[in-house]
């Protein structure tokens, strides 16, 4: 079996016996929990579309490992065309879910780990690549969702992992045994963690030679003993417990971030892909971050499409669609959104082959893409809120609209165009609220800012990757300070 159905995926999650906490209580059946389920639905969409002939051209690929048809989320990119299709797939899923669909982190980790373990083995004579390929074959064969797990708790930001007063501030090896290693630490902000089958752990940052215990990569099943999960809150999350489906904004879909604690967790050697090779930790981080910065040129664009659509709709519903400034603001939203897409496509089209054989995005353009993503969704959201007007933050609850006595009055004074049902206006305003400051804003805004690295991380990479001295020399030739060697006629 290489393509799972959404139902099979849900069945997998139901069989997971994990230690999960939310609101100070242990959660037993998380699949049917109304706060968690929308995020599971988003992940399930990655399975659903792969089986649909209308979408299979970008949702599936041919495995480079065994030749089978697989979900693109488990694929090793084999060409720039594959990298482009990845971005298109992410845009599609952003449109379909209007939220973070969570499966990208695993895909980006596979591609970073595949090429890095290959080069690591070449340098150190180790066998991590072979182990990793075996793991990835298992993932592809069973169409598994995998959480690519990088961000540590990090303690005092002025100190490196080895300098922290609490060494657990960064996940590290606490014991090496004949049969494997034992690790302890915590990874924060883990997108889609409990919606995954497996966890693929990577180091958080570049490491010094003496920080070998923190240079560790491995994969374990979600239900490994010692794993503790604490569900992250989202704005307006408890609206999902109120029973209605208007005030939640997005009726079926949502994102998920989880605090993930590794409390003395055993990892067998066959699942360890790095142990102590500090000189390759920065390569993993740069490549994973690069792929993930490319990802945002697809997924955030898809969610942007949904927000632009909602903004167009509310302008129509409220009778403002013909105002020239509204039309112009919608154009500006599209301009910003398509600019992000252009960046995602550009860093893909300029991708290159790695020594291991899979393709890596152009790192400079991927960082430019993400730097824009830290800004443009905020501006798109500002324009959406501008056009929507203030009612999406002052509107009474859906229960007030349904109230037998005040309901008719609330509806009367919430009506704009008399040919548009007031409930349509309610729903669209709540969707805009959901994406720009509610539960989905976690993914569309704050994740755009900090996910795959905060803005300064991209600026450091841009500084490193742009050759300013060459540009200076070109300018000196143009203005006559230096002789122009091209002028020979």
Partner 1 sequence: MKLLIKYCGGCNPSINRKELVNEVLNLLRLHTFVEVTTENADVGLIVGGCSVCCINIDNIKDQASELVVVGGSLVDYAKVPPDQQTVKVMQQVLEKGGQRSC
- Residues near partner 1, by CB under 8 A: 53-59, 81, 84-85, 88-89, 91-92, 95, 302, 305
Using alpha carbons, list the distances in angstroms from residue 368 to 196, 248, 350, 391: 30, 34, 13, 36
CB closer to partner 1, 81 vs 175: 81
Smallest separation (angstroms) from partner 1 to the CB of 54: 5
Bridge-based pairing state of the strands 257-268 and 180-191: antiparallel
Q: Is 292 a catalytic residue?
A: yes
Smallest separation (angstroms) from partner 1 to the CB of 340: 13
CB closer to partner 1, 58 vs 431: 58
In order, the DSSP letters of 31-90 are: TT-TTTHHHHHHHHHHHHGGG-TTTHHHHEEE-TTT--EEEGGGPPP-SHHHHHHHHHHH
CB closer to partner 1, 103 vs 240: 103
Are the CB atoms for 86 and 302 separated by under 8 Å?
Answer: no
Smallest separation (angstroms) from partner 1 to the CB of 307: 15
- As given in the structure block, the two tokens for residue 278 are 């500090």
Question: Which entry of 9, 47, 74, 100 is annotated as an active-site residue?
Answer: 100
For residues 188 and 271, what is the distance between their CA atoms, to the nearest angstrom? Answer: 22
Question: Which entry of 9, 47, 128, 296 is annotated as an active-site residue?
Answer: 296
Q: Is 249 left (phi over 0), alpha (psi -120 to 50) or beta?
A: left
Q: Is 238 a catalytic residue?
A: no
Smallest separation (angstroms) from partner 1 to the CB of 345: 10
CB closer to partner 1, 84 vs 361: 84
Q: Which DSSP helix (H) or strand (E) runs through 353?
A: strand 352-353
In order, the DSSP letters of 410-461 are: HHHTT-SSTTS-HHHHHHHHHHHHHHHTSTTHIIIIIHHHHTTS-HHHHHHH
Q: For 147, list phi and psi in degrees, rounded to 5.
A: -85, 115
> What count of Cα atoms within 13 Å lies in the side-chain half-sphere of residue 254?
26
For residues 404 and 399, what is the distance between their CA atoms, to the nearest angstrom? Answer: 10
Question: Which entry of 97, 104, 341, 444 is annotated as an active-site residue?
Answer: 104
Cβ contacts of 390 within 8 Å, gap of 6 or more: none
Smallest separation (angstroms) from partner 1 to the CB of 360: 21
Are the CB atoms for 103 and 145 separated by under 8 Å?
Answer: yes
CB closer to partner 1, 132 vs 341: 341
Smallest separation (angstroms) from partner 1 to the CB of 333: 15
Smallest separation (angstroms) from partner 1 to the CB of 5: 19
Q: Is 299 a catalytic residue?
A: yes
Provide the b/e sequence for 139-171 (b: ≥16 CB within 10 Å).
Answer: bbbebbbbbbbbbbbebeeeeebbebeebbbbb
CB closer to partner 1, 43 vs 84: 84
Question: Which entry of 191, 260, 374, 436 is annotated as an active-site residue?
Answer: 191
CB closer to partner 1, 43 vs 59: 59
Q: Which DSSP helix (H) or strand (E) runs through 266?
A: strand 257-268
Q: Is 296 a catalytic residue?
A: yes
CB closer to partner 1, 95 vs 339: 95
Q: Is 104 a catalytic residue?
A: yes
Smallest separation (angstroms) from partner 1 to the CB of 444: 18
Q: Is 198 a catalytic residue?
A: no
Using alpha carbons, list the distances in angstroms from residue 118 to 105, 128, 276, 439: 20, 8, 16, 40
Smallest separation (angstroms) from partner 1 to the CB of 49: 9
123 CB burial (10 A radius; 0-12, 13-18, 19+): exposed
> What count of Cα atoms within 13 Å lies in the side-chain half-sphere of residue 167?
10
For residues 186 and 223, what is the distance between their CA atoms, to the nearest angstrom? Answer: 16
CB closer to partner 1, 57 vs 328: 57
Q: Which residues are catalytic?
A: 100, 104, 191, 257, 292, 296, 299, 447
């Amino acid at each position: 079996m290489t393509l799972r159905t959404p139902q099979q995926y849900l069945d997998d999650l139901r069989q997971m016996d994990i230690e999960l906490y939310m609101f100070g209580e242990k959660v037993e059946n998380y699949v049917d929990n109304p706060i968690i389920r929308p995020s599971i639905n988003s992940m399930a969409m990655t399975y659903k579309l792969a089986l649909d002939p209308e979408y299979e051209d970008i949702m599936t690929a041919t495995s480079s490992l065994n030749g089978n048809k697989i979900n693109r989320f488990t694929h090793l990119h084999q060409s720039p065309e594959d990298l482009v299709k990845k971005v298109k797939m992410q845009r599609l899923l952003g449109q379909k879910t209007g939220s973070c669909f969570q499966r990208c982190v695993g895909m980006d980790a596979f591609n970073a780990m595949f090429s890095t373990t290959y080069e690591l083995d070449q340098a150190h004579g180790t066998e991590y690549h072979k182990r990793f390929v075996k793991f990835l074959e298992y993932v592809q064969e069973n169409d598994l969702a995998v959480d690519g797990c990088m961000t540590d708790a990090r303690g005092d930001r002025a100190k490196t992992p080895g300098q922290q007063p609490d060494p657990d501030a960064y996940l590290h090896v606490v014991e090496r045994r004949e049969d494997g290693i034992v690790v302890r630490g915590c990874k924060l902000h883990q997108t889609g963690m409990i919606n995954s089958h497996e966890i693929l752990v990577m180091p958080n940052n570049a490491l010094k030679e003496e920080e070998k215990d923190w240079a560790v990569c491995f994969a374990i099943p979600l239900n490994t003993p010692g794993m503790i999960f604490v569900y992250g809150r989202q704005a307006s999350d408890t609206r999902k417990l109120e029973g209605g489906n208007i005030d939640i904004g997005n009726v079926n879909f949502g994102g998920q971030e989880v605090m993930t604690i590794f409390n003395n967790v055993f990892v067998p050697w066959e699942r360890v892909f790095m142990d102590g090779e500090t000189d390759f930790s920065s390569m993993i981080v740069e490549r994973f971050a690069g792929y993930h910065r490319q990802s945002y040129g697809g997924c955030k664009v898809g969610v942007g499409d949904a927000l632009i659509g909602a903004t167009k709709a509310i302008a129509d519903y409220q009778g403002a669609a013909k105002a020239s400034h509204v039309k112009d603001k919608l154009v500006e939203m599209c301009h910003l959104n398509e600019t992000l897409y252009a960046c995602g496509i550009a860093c893909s089209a300029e991708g290159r082959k790695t020594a291991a054989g899979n393709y890596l995005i152009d790192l400079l353009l991927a960082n430019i893409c993400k730097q824009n993503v830290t800004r443009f969704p905020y501006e798109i959201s500002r324009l959406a809120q501008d056009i929507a007007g203030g009612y999406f933050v002052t509107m009474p609850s859906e229960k007030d609209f349904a109230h037998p006595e005040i309901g008719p009055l609330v509806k009367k004074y919430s009506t704009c165009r008399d040919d548009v049902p007031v409930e349509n206006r309610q729903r669209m305003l709540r969707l805009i609220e959901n994406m720009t400051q509610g539960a989905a804003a976690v993914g569309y805004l704050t994740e755009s800012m900090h996910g795959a690295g905060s803005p300064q991380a991209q600026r450091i990479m841009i500084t490193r990757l742009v050759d300013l001295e060459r540009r200076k020399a070109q300018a000196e030739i143009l203005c006559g300070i230096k002789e122009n060697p091209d002028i020979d006629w």
